[in-house]
Amino acid sequence: MPTELPSTTDFKYAIRTNRREFLHDAGVFGAGLAIAPWIAGVGANAAEQTSSNMIVHTTSPLNSEPQLGELTKSWITPVESFYVRSHAPNPKIDPAAFRLTVEGLIDKPLSISLAELSGSFEETSVVATMTCAGNRRSEHSLIKPVGGVPWQAGPIGNARWSGVRLSDVLKKAGLKDGAKHVWFEGLDEIAKGDGIIPFGASIPVRKAMADADAMPGALLTTKMNDQPLTPDHGAPLRGVVPGYIGARSVKWLGKIVVSDRPSPNHYVATAYKLVQEGTPIEWDESGPLYRFPLNSVICVPAANSKVPNGKVAVAGYALPPGTPGTSISKIEVSADGGRSWVVAKITSPVREHCWVLWKADVNVSSSASELIVRATDSRGDVQPELGQWNLKGYMFNGWYHLPVRGE
């Protein structure tokens, strides 16, 4: 197995080489056999299957993702099928005593109860996709092993989030000159080194204030799919930042700080960055991740299914990048290793910061060993053929390969 990335300037080539070497060393590389057999189900070994049909990676804290086939059943993901990614057990919060505090570079510090929040600010809802930066992490490990929860392609979901606009709360507090970043702090207690830290995030003030008609820059939410937030998803209050990786949408939100710089919290200052070696210098050189990348995944049929020779019904999701105003414009599926592509039919609404669901009838020959999907966004950007390996296994968005067995 390769232990280091070649120091070539052609990173794409390096990845391909490593992937081949990996397969070769693992004894499964053969002529015409691509990476497919390894993709689905990778990392599932340690995970536990529950009656709720979720793949549970860890129980305390809970880290779980749905079976892919569940995801394409509905554009809005039911809460029961929505992944959970928590760094510590759910904090116990008394909603009656709960206060959200707002401090920092503002004119008027605030301490707001849940009743005051819903009573003083206009309620609004948005449909937005939440996805973990570690979605598809198990595919990084095919190139070179990475640590962390071995997510398959299920830590993603689309929900209707209801609450108040963050911009309205910041306007009430009054932003001072020099206010550039908004920090969020959760009420959870994460053991880190010798101490306990909360989960934290931050977003630029400009993003917080960037409300469009149908799309707020960020929301402080109390409901998910028109029901009160569940403890796993951050009750009683969570931030939701459309277009950004899930890590910026802080659950159990207790504190907001307005600052001239990004949050020094571990999950902004160190984690959630793209690094290769992970040297202290490299961490310092890298900026925090914000927007999620263009992506697409095949959810049906299940991995390693036997598919008949002839037309096969294929379905999945595609996510536009978190670039403002960008939506999905095309999804293509190939059953011949990328030589020819069938354009899929989009079966859901098409919006910025939201996934689309799609389906396609694809002609599969008896020799086919995999199906591939790739998406194109409204700016004309196409998903890259190869995912870019990084130490923490974030943002994997290479063409998705689904292994199948032709008849």
Ligand X SMILES: Nc1nc2c(c(=O)[nH]1)N[C@H]1C(S)=C(S)[C@@H](COP(=O)(O)O)O[C@H]1N2
Q: Which residues contribute to the site for ligand X (CB under 6 A)? A: 82-87, 130, 132, 186, 188, 199, 233, 246-247, 249-252
Q: How far is the CB of 156 from ligand X (least distance, A)?
A: 9
66 interacts with Mo ion by CB under 5 A = no
Beta-carbon contacts of 397 under 8 Å, excluding residues fewer than 6 positions away, are 136, 293, 294, 295, 383, 384, 387
Q: How far is the CB of 403 from Mo ion (least distance, A)?
A: 26
- Specify whether the CB–CB gap between 330 and 322 falls below 8 A: no
| The pair of three-digit structure tokens given for residue 26, joined into one six-digit string | 């693992």
| The pair of three-digit structure tokens given for residue 163, joined into one six-digit string | 């609450």
- Specify whether the CB–CB gap between 350 and 327 falls below 8 A: yes
Displacement of CA 194 from its chain's centroid (Å):
29
Q: How far is the CB of 393 from ligand X (least distance, A)?
A: 12
- Applying CB under 5 A, among 15, 71, 247, 271 the residue interacting with Mo ion is 247
10 Å Cβ neighbour count for 228? Answer: 12
Instruction: Work out what residue 87 binds among Mo ion, ligand X, none; the CB cut-off runs from 5 to 8 Å by kind.
Output: ligand X
- Applying CB under 5 A, among 37, 243, 246, 288 the residue interacting with Mo ion is 246
Provide the terminal-to-terminal Cα distance of the chain, rounded to the nearest Å: 32
The window from 10-18, 130-138, 206-214, 333-341 that contacts Mo ion (CB under 5 A) reads: 130-138
Displacement of CA 150 from its chain's centroid (Å):
13
Residue 131 or 334 having the CB closest to Mo ion: 131
Q: How far is the CB of 383 from Mo ion (least distance, A)?
A: 20
Q: How far is the CB of 245 from Mo ion (least distance, A)?
A: 6
Helix ranges restricted to H, 26-165: 68-71, 114-120, 137-143
Nearest to 252 by CA among 181, 209, 198, 196: 198
Instruction: Work out what residue 249 binds among Mo ion, ligand X, none; the CB cut-off runs from 5 to 8 Å by kind.
Output: ligand X
- Specify whether the CB–CB gap between 82 and 159 falls below 8 A: yes
Residue 392 or 401 having the CB closest to ligand X: 392
250 interacts with Mo ion by CB under 5 A = no
The window from 91-99, 216-224, 246-254, 393-401 that contacts Mo ion (CB under 5 A) reads: 246-254
Q: How far is the CB of 13 from Mo ion (least distance, A)?
A: 29
| Nearest position to Mo ion, beta carbon | 132
Cis ω for the linkage preceding 403 (within 30 of 0): no
132 interacts with Mo ion by CB under 5 A = yes
What is the torsional sign of CA 65, 68, 69, 75? Answer: positive
Residues that bind Mo ion (CB under 5 A): 85, 132, 246-247
